[in-house]
Amino acid sequence: MRKTFWYILGGQLATISIPVMAQDIPETTAPPPADVQPAEAMMTPEQMAVVDGWPEERQVRFRQWPGDVQAYFWTLAPERQELFWRMADGDKLALVAMDEAGREAAWGQIETQVGGMEPGESVADPDPIEESEPMDEAHSEHDEPMKRS
């Protein structure tokens, strides 16, 4: 199931990144428009109260998100908000960039994936790599025992 989620996510990212790569990027970047408000100015007083009640680390992480990610966060149900916190920042950006059908498919995958996870484990954690014990040359599996003559 995890690989399917990454294939869907990768496909969505590819469709987003191809048009961006095809554009001519000017050498100088223009400053943001003056009428753009900070994300905190777009939050309701209730949302500000919720953010103020979070631990300091969570508040800092939330304020580092782009405005569209913060706005999307408030549209989520409380259960999905908790899952959203467990996602990697790159996955959050990709999820926000998707269309509504893609988001619902991704959320279905995320919720299925989380079903067998520990509460503190990150949603985007890859499968752990099992390390085998190092073998010394004298005890290799392929060596035959020494025969006495």
Assign 22 a pLDDT band (cuts: 50, 70, 90).
low
Whether residue 16 is predicted with pLDDT greater than 80 in this model: the reply is no
R_g of the chain, CA atoms, integer Å: 23
Asked, for residue 10, whether it belongs to a domain, the answer is yes
- Structural domain span for residue 110: 2-21+39-121
**In Å, how far are 46, 50, 81, 102, 146 from 59, measured between CA atoms?**
15, 10, 14, 28, 65
Asked, for residue 47, whether it belongs to a domain, the answer is yes
- Structurally, how many domains does the chain consist of? 1
Asked, for residue 61, whether it belongs to a domain, the answer is yes
Q: What pLDDT is recorded for position 81?
A: 94
Q: What pLDDT is recorded for position 4?
A: 75
What predicted TM-score, i.e. pTM, was given to this entire model? 0.53
**In Å, how far are 24, 50, 59, 82, 141 from 42, measured between CA atoms?**
32, 14, 16, 21, 64
Asked, for residue 103, whether it belongs to a domain, the answer is yes
- As a whole number, mean pLDDT of residues 17-44 equals 56
Asked, for residue 29, whether it belongs to a domain, the answer is no
Encode pLDDT of 105-141 as tens digits: 999 999 998 876 655 555 554 433 333 344 444 444 4
Q: Distance between CA atoms of 27 and 70, rounded to whole angstroms? A: 29
